[in-house]
Amino acid sequence: MDFVSGFVEAIDYFLIAPYRWPGNPVIGWWTGTAVLAAWAALLGKITIALVFRVNRSYIKETVGEVDQRHTQSMNALKAGDRAAYRAINRLANEAFGKSFFLQVAMASASLWPVPCALAWLQIRFSSIQFPLAVDLPLVGHNVGASFIFIPLYILARIMLGKVKPRKGNRE
C-alpha cells in the first residue's frame, strides 16, 4: 500500500467514525454530518490563523501603507493641492486594492476544507438521497448529502465565530 492510499484510508476511518457513534443510522447521519461540518469549520479557522501568522508583517505593512496614503491625500486636500491629492489618492487606491485582495485571498484560505468534505461525502454517500415534501425548482423531490452539509457548515462557522480567542500575549 502506498502513502496516498494509506493516508486516504486513515482519513476515511477518522471521518466515518462519528457516523457510527449512535446506534440509529438516521441519528448517525445527522451526528456525523454535523461533526464533519464542525471539523471543516475548525480546520478552516486554524488555516486562516496560520496564514495570518505567516503573513502578519506583510499585512501590517499593507494596512500601514493604506493609512499613510490616506493621511497624505487628506493633508494634500486640506492644503488645497488638488494635483498632489489626485496623485496620492491614486497611490492610496492601489494600496487599498492590494490590501483588499490580500484579505479576500486570506479569507478564501479558510474554505478549502469544504470541497474536501463534499468530495468525501460524495464518495461515501452518493447513493443516499433524502426525499423532500415539496418539489423544489432545479432540485426536484430528492436531495443529496451536500444539501444537508452546507447549512450545517454555515451554522458551524457562525457558532465558531462566536467563540472568542483568549486574551494572552497577543500584539
Question: Nearest-CA neighbor of 63 among 33, 100, 91?
Answer: 100
Average model confidence (pLDDT) across the chain = 87
Residue 171 pLDDT grade (very low, low, confident, very high; cuts 50, 70, 90): very low
CA 65/CA 91 separation, integer angstroms? 9
- Higher-pLDDT residue of 166 and 99 is 99
- Higher-pLDDT residue of 1 and 19 is 19
Residue 129 pLDDT grade (very low, low, confident, very high; cuts 50, 70, 90): confident
All three cell numbers of 113, joined, read 476544507
Residue 37 lies in a domain: yes
Residue 167 lies in a domain: no
Residue 52 lies in a domain: yes
Residue 80 lies in a domain: yes
Question: Nearest-CA neighbor of 145 among 168, 120, 170, 163?
Answer: 120
Number of domains forming the structure of the chain: 1
Average pLDDT in the 34-46 region? Answer: 96
- What's the pLDDT at 105? 86
Residue 5 lies in a domain: no
For residue 167, what are the CA distances in angstroms to 37, 54, 162, 164? 27, 20, 15, 9
- What's the pLDDT at 168? 58
Q: Which pLDDT tens digit goes with each residue over 61-113?
A: 988 998 898 888 888 888 888 888 888 888 888 988 988 898 888 888 899 99
Domain that holds residue 60: 26-162
Residue 9 lies in a domain: no
Average pLDDT in the 15-24 region? Answer: 93
Residue 6 lies in a domain: no
